Amino acid sequence: MSGLSPARVRLALLALALGGFGIGTTEFVVMGLLDNVARDLLPALYASSHEEAVAQTGWLITAYALGVVVGAPTIAALSARFPRKQLLLWLLVAFTLATVLSAVLPTFELVLVARFIAGLPHGAYFGIATLVAASLMGEGKRGRGVAIVLSGLTIANVIGVPLITLLGQQAGWRVAYLAVAAIFALTFVAVALAVPLQPGDPKATLTRELRAFGRSQVWLALLTGAIGFGGFFAVYSYVSPVVTQVTGQSESFVPIALVVIGLGMTLGNLAGGRAADHNVMGTIFVCFGLFVVALASFALTAHTTAGLLISLFVVGGAASALSPAVQSRLMDVAGDSQTLAAAANHAALNLGNSLGAYLGGVTIAAGLGYLSPAVVGLLLCIPGIGLALFSVALQRRRPLRLG
C-alpha cells in the first residue's frame, strides 16, 4: 500500500496480529481448563465419570469451531464490498461481547451457545485481516503477510493461553474468559488507531464470491487444511488430561506443555509462511510428513516428560506451518473470490478442529485412553496427503484458469 511509512505498516500489522492473539486465546484456553470447566458446569457427571465429563466439556471446543464454520463463509460473502477496517472493528465488538457472555452465563448449555456465537466472526476476521496484511506487505511477500497475522494466534499459545490457563486455575475459568474479553477490547482500540482505511471490493457480489465454491481446487485445498488440522486438534484438545493422567505430572505442568506447543506453532507458522512464498504444495507435503512422525512419537513417548514435550513441539510446528501454505494455495486458486476463500480457509480449519475434538472425545469416552486421539490424527493424515496429491495431479491435467 503506497504512502505508508515502514513504521506505520509495522504498527498496522501488529494491531492485526493482536486480534489473532485474542482469537487464539479465546479458542484454545478452554483446552487447558477442561477439568476446571467440567467440575464447575457438570458436577454430577464429573463425580460419576471423570472421562465422560471431560469428553462432554470438549463440546465447547466443537461449538466454537462450528461457529467459525457457519460464520466465516456467510459473513465474508455478504461483506466483501464493505470497507475492511470498519468491518474488522465490528467483528471485534462481536468477539468482546460473546466472550463476556461465555464468562457469565450460568449453565453448560448456555455457555455452549455463547461459544458458538463467539466463533462466528473468527473466520471473517482472519480472512479480511490476511488480505489487508498481504496488501500492506506488497508483491512477493504474501505468505509472510499471512504468517504475521497468524503469528498472533500462535504467540497466543506461547504467552496468552498458558498465562490465562494459569489465571483460570487460580481464579476460576470465568475470570479467564473475562481476561480474554479485555484483550479483544484492547485490539479494537489498536485497530482503530493503527490500521489504515482500506476500501472493500466495489465489484464484489454474493454471486461472484460464491463462485469460488464452483472450483474443484478450492474444495481440495479446504479439505486438505481441514483434515490436517483435524489431526492436530484431536491431540491438542486433550493435552490437559494427557499431562496429568498419562505423563503423571501435576495440573501446574499443563501451562508448560501449552507453552511448548505454542513455541512449535509460532516457529512453524513463520517457517511455513516463508516456505509457501517459494513452493506452496511442496510445503504442504513436508508438513504432513513431519506431522505423521510427530503424532507417532506422541503416541509412543508421551508417558515420559521429555517425550511429551518434544513430540508436542513438533506436532504444533508441523500443523501450524500447514496453515499459511493452505491459505496461499487458496489465494492461488480462488480467482476473484479472495475474501470468501480467505475466510473459508478458517472455516475449514475449524471444521477440522471440531472433527478432531469430537473424534478424540469419542475414543476417550469409549475407554481407549487419553493417547487414542493421536491414532485418530494419524488416520486423518492419510486422506489429507491423498487430497494434496490429487490436487497436484488435477492441476497437471487441467492448468488453473482464473480469468
Cα-atom radius of gyration of the chain, to the nearest Å?
Answer: 20
The greatest distance separating any two alpha carbons of the chain, rounded to the nearest whole angstrom, comes to: 63
Q: According to the model, what pLDDT value does residue 402 have?
A: 47
pTM: 0.72
pLDDT higher for 205 or 371?
A: 371
Q: Please determine, for residue 403, whether its predicted confidence score (pLDDT) is greater than 50.
A: no
Grid coordinates standing for 290? Answer: 513431519
Q: Give yes or no for residue 381 having a pLDDT over 50.
A: yes
Once rounded to an integer, what is the mean pLDDT over residues 74-86? Answer: 78
Query: From CA 359, how far away is CA 372, in angstroms rounded?
Result: 10
Grid cell of 67 as nine digits: 461457529
Give the span between the Cα atoms of 384 and 227, in whole angstroms: 6
Confidence bin at 53 (pLDDT 50/70/90): confident
| 87 or 350, higher pLDDT | 87
pLDDT tens per residue, range 274-322: 887 778 888 888 888 888 999 999 999 999 999 999 999 999 898 888 8
102: phi then psi, degrees, rounded to nearest 5: -60, -35
Residue holding cell 489429507?
384
CB atoms near residue 392 (< 10 Å): 13
**Which among 274, 321, 270 is positioned nearest to 294, based on CA atoms?**
321
Residue whose grid cell is 464468562: 103
Per-residue burial over 107-144, b = 16 or more CB atoms within 10 Å of its CB, e = otherwise: ebeebbbbbbbbbbbbbbbbbbbbbbbbebbeeebbbb
| pLDDT confidence tier of residue 143, bands split at 50, 70 and 90 | low
**Which range, 30-39, 155-164, 243-252, has the best average confidence (pLDDT)?**
243-252
pLDDT of residue 232: 86
Predicted confidence at residue 30, as pLDDT, reads: 83
Q: In terms of C-beta density within 10 A (0-12 exposed, 13-18 middle, 19 or more buried), how is residue 307 classed?
A: middle
pLDDT of the residue at 150? 75
Which of 37-51, 88-102, 301-315, 331-345 is least confident? 331-345
Q: What is the pLDDT of residues 155-182, one digit of tens each?
A: 887 888 888 988 998 898 999 999 999 9
Cα–Cα distance measured from residue 292 to residue 382, given in angstroms and rounded to the nearest whole number: 9
Q: What is the pLDDT of residues 205-225, one digit of tens each?
A: 666 666 767 778 888 888 888
